[in-house]
Amino acid sequence: MARVLLATALLAAPAAAYVTSPGASSHMPQRAAMGSAEHLDSMMLEVEEPAGQSTGASMLAAGFGFGALLGWLNSRRQQAASVAAAAAVALAPGAANAIVDFDGVEFLGGSDKVDINNANIQAYRQFPGFFPTAAGIIGTHGPYEKVGDIYSIPNLDPTITAIFKKYEGNLVCNPASPAYFLDRINNGLYR
């Protein structure tokens, strides 16, 4: 019964707003003699004022409908909360797809070997003299196909080449992964 009353109130409230008084005309006067001041005065006189009775009826219907809605929500709190939670879950964005399994994760800084294509320059801190200069040079160039490609970096200082030679056995070259190659210089971690 409450649903029927609520539906009736909600349907009647908008309709009551457009009801005109019984003697009023529903269309605009014809524009035969535009430009004369008398015609403009007569147009201003024909402006309809909303009828007090229809405004009161629409207010009554809106109040009744709102009260019925609040009463229904109060009696069905659990169902309303369930519907709200389901709507929030349905409208919430889904989780982003993430790379969970990366074959070379151990070479990103968790072992004595470092991947020159995917590791952040912080991974080179374990090799004395390598960080930050030599690591930065590797990070700003590439991707590499093999470890030996680091020797073909243009304008490479001989001291940097010596550091590369010293730790060449600790470097590996996996295919560049878009998820890691992008963050080789700055991974957003700060102290």
Render pLDDT for 32-83 as a digit per residue (tens, 0 to 9): 444 445 544 554 555 555 554 567 777 777 777 777 777 777 777 787 777 7
Q: Could you give the CA distance from residue 19 to residue 171 in angstroms, rounded to a whole number?
A: 83
Q: Could you give the CA distance from residue 125 to residue 121 in angstroms, rounded to a whole number?
A: 8
DSSP symbols for 54-73: HHHHHHHHHHHHHHHHHHHH
Residue 179 CB: number of other CB atoms within 10 A? 11
Q: What are phi and psi of 79, to 5 degrees?
A: -65, -40
Closest CA to 72 of 2, 7, 8: 2
Q: Could you give the CA distance from residue 124 to residue 160 in angstroms, rounded to a whole number?
A: 13
Reported as type and span, the H/E element at residue 114 is strand 114-115
Q: Is 32 exposed, middle or buried (0-12, 13-18, 19+ CB in 10 A)?
A: exposed
Q: What's the confidence (pLDDT) of residue 186?
A: 78
Tokens 């700055």, residue?
186
Q: What's the confidence (pLDDT) of residue 29?
A: 46
Q: What's the confidence (pLDDT) of residue 27?
A: 47
Closest CA to 138 of 160, 159, 107: 160
C-alpha of 158 from chain center: 49
Q: What's the confidence (pLDDT) of residue 4?
A: 62
Q: Could you give the CA distance from residue 161 to residue 166 in angstroms, rounded to a whole number?
A: 9
Q: What pLDDT digit, counting tens, does each position of 86-140 carry?
A: 777 777 766 656 555 667 777 887 789 999 999 999 899 999 999 999 999 999 9
Instruction: Give pTM, 2 decimals.
Output: 0.47
C-alpha of 146 from chain center: 40
Tokens of 79: 């169902």
